[in-house]
Amino acid sequence: MAQMMTVITQAGLGGPEVLQPAERERPVPGATEVLVRVHAAGTNPTDFKTRATGGLLRAEPPFVLGHDVSGVVEAVGWGVTLFEPGDEVYGMLDYPHLHGGYGQYVTAPARRFVPKPAALSHPQAAALPLVALTAWQALVDRAGLRPGQRVLVHAAAGGVGHVAVQIAKALGGYVIGTAGAAKHEFVRGLGADEVIDYAAVDFATAVGEVDVVIDAVGGDYSERSLPVVRDGGTLVSLTTPAADALRPAAAERGIRAGFLLVEPDRAALLAVADLAATGRLRAEVGTVLPLAEAAKAHELLESGRTVGKIVLDVTG
């Protein structure tokens, strides 16, 4: 008889109320795959956007959301040598494809995972992969950040932003963050050298020249940020491909500008794990809810009023 598991799925697009628990057959790992018993699943803004619209791929329900997971290897498929049953792991499932982190079990290629740092709980680990890989790929792979360079992080208290601040500091950058006044103490606590209240001042006149801009806000922020980037610098938008329209003007000054979409990356995830294990990086976990309350998690996500990541506990 097939073994079953609980997942959170949706029969149609819409508000948080479309998220409902359902029973699914437990997957079996194929060649090069592992089956992970999920202990915690991270949530991200891309989740509620996909729930409401089908996301970047315009997926049609039913599907299971969730890209960030932390758990224990239950079984391994043919050819897997990285892990054995019982190993604690965390990782990011293929993005933006939907492989279903909001469930008790998930299968994925073994190299989507790395060992979970012992210093992190499963909720802390599940909060990291997507945001940390996004920040790493923007700061390291795209910008090639070097010690002493000035980095402007927009939405520095947000999911990606608060991780980008820490990674930039760990790499030796001078970090300036934009955030609402109520979140300045939090951002400074992450290591930011300066914090700008975007509601009180125009960051473009307050920040001076920078080498790198990480735009996690969208709208006109990338366009407004381009003048503060030094010639030869880098501007990375994490919100919309529309930022690619800035490339011609940016190229005239030797600036690399455009949209970045996060990808699975085992080497970067290992580097992130090292930063976390040595205390140089943490994902701020603001709320932990049981899997059955995924709809409530989405309500909180969409409110924009929370500080830190919202994580689903899948052990109950």
Using one digit for the tens of pLDDT, what is the confidence trace for 161-190?
Answer: 999 999 999 999 999 999 999 999 999 999
Asked whether residue 229 carries a pLDDT value surpassing 90, the answer given is yes
**What number is the average pLDDT over the span 69-91?**
98
Confidence band, pLDDT 50/70/90 cuts, at residue 193: very high
Confidence band, pLDDT 50/70/90 cuts, at residue 305: confident
- Are 48 and 298 in contact by the 8 Å Cβ rule? The answer is yes
57 burial (CB, 10 Å; 0-12 / 13-18 / 19+) is exposed
**What number is the average pLDDT over the span 78-104?**
95
Using one digit for the tens of pLDDT, what is the confidence trace for 96-122?
Answer: 898 899 999 999 999 999 999 999 999
Residue in this structure with the two tokens 């919100």, named with its chain if needed: 239
End-to-end, the C-alpha distance of the chain in Å comes to: 23
Q: Residue 225's closest CA among 135, 152, 134?
A: 152
Q: Domains along the chain?
A: 4-128+283-313 (3.90.180.10), 131-259 (3.40.50.720)
Asked whether residue 1 carries a pLDDT value surpassing 80, the answer given is no
Asked whether residue 230 carries a pLDDT value surpassing 70, the answer given is yes
217: Cβ contacts below 8 Å, ≥ 6 apart:
154, 155, 178, 239
Confidence band, pLDDT 50/70/90 cuts, at residue 243: confident
Confidence band, pLDDT 50/70/90 cuts, at residue 5: very high
pTM greater than the 0.85 cutoff: yes
**What number is the average pLDDT over the span 13-17?**
98
